[in-house]
Amino acid sequence: MISLQNLTKVFDDASGSEHALAGVSLEIADGDAFGIIGISGAGKSTLVRCVNLLERPTSGRVVVDGVDVTDLHGAALRQYRQRVAMIFQGFGLLSQKTALDNVCFPFLAASGRVSAEDRKRAQELLELVDLGDKALSYPAQLSGGQKQRVAIARALATKPEYLLCDEATSALDPASTESVLDVLRRVNEERGVTLLVITHSMDVVRSICKNVAVLVKGQVVEQGPVEQIFAAPEHETTKALLGRGRWNG
């Protein structure tokens, strides 16, 4: 379980301080597919980056399976990040490496070498995301949806327990979006990987999430099972995201 306890993140610059997160508390159960939704600037990406400690919370705690990981550094932090993988909107593939070599990159980063067994596992992961025939293709030869599926295969190389998805489909066309969501759904249901899905799309939440929290200006304003939130939204932002209300401001 991931437990976020009163997370606050403040960014300081010459113009002053901005609270990107203001006391967020959430629990994501093992095996869940949990959506975090909100408009641009709501704090969604900051929240997910605090989960894997790409951003350090200003205050509050990140507790995973009962262990406070908030202050991890060095080898302990690297080990934690193997358990909590992440995929991004921009794919992050290495353009000069094939799809297979991109999936192998975590093995290379961990040990400085890629074994025959590693390459076999990478091929299996490409087959898992329906790209077994694209092993020798370069990113420039792949569609956006295919690139994101390679990124998912790469994220799974370390056998993570949690997969953080930061706007993973927002740059994709509808058909590519559906192919990526189908892979994520199977990863969650068949492999038991817990998903934390950051998105601004209620369609994405409806498609793969079991629970959802709505974020507004760094605060959770509504949360619950997806069916409940869709059937009876309470906050005006939730209603607007569902097309049932007006935006304020």
Residue-level pLDDT at 91: 85
- pLDDT-based confidence at 102, cuts 50/70/90? very high
User: pLDDT, tens digit, for every residue of 13-42?
Assistant: 767 788 899 999 999 999 999 999 998 889
Q: What is the DSSP string of the chain?
A: -EEEEEEEEEEEETTEEEEEEEEEEEEE-TT-EEEEE--TTSSHHHHHHHHTTSS--SEEEEEETTEE-TT--HHHHHHHHHHEEEEETT----TTS-HHHHHHHHHHHHHS---HHHHHHHHHHHHHTT-GGGTT--GGGS-HHHHHHHHHHHHHTT--SEEEEESTTTTS-HHHHHHHHHHHHHHHHHH--EEEEEES-HHHHHHH-SEEEEEETTEEEEEEEHHHHHHS--SHHHHHHTTSSPPP-
Residue-level pLDDT at 243: 84
User: pLDDT, tens digit, for every residue of 129-170?
Assistant: 999 999 999 999 999 999 999 999 999 998 999 999 998 888
User: pLDDT, tens digit, for every residue of 164-201?
Assistant: 999 888 888 899 999 999 999 999 999 999 999 999 88
Residue-level pLDDT at 249: 42
Architecture of domain 2-241: 3-Layer(aba) Sandwich (3.40)
User: pLDDT, tens digit, for every residue of 112-126?
Assistant: 889 999 999 999 999
User: pLDDT, tens digit, for every residue of 225-247?
Assistant: 999 999 999 999 999 888 865 65
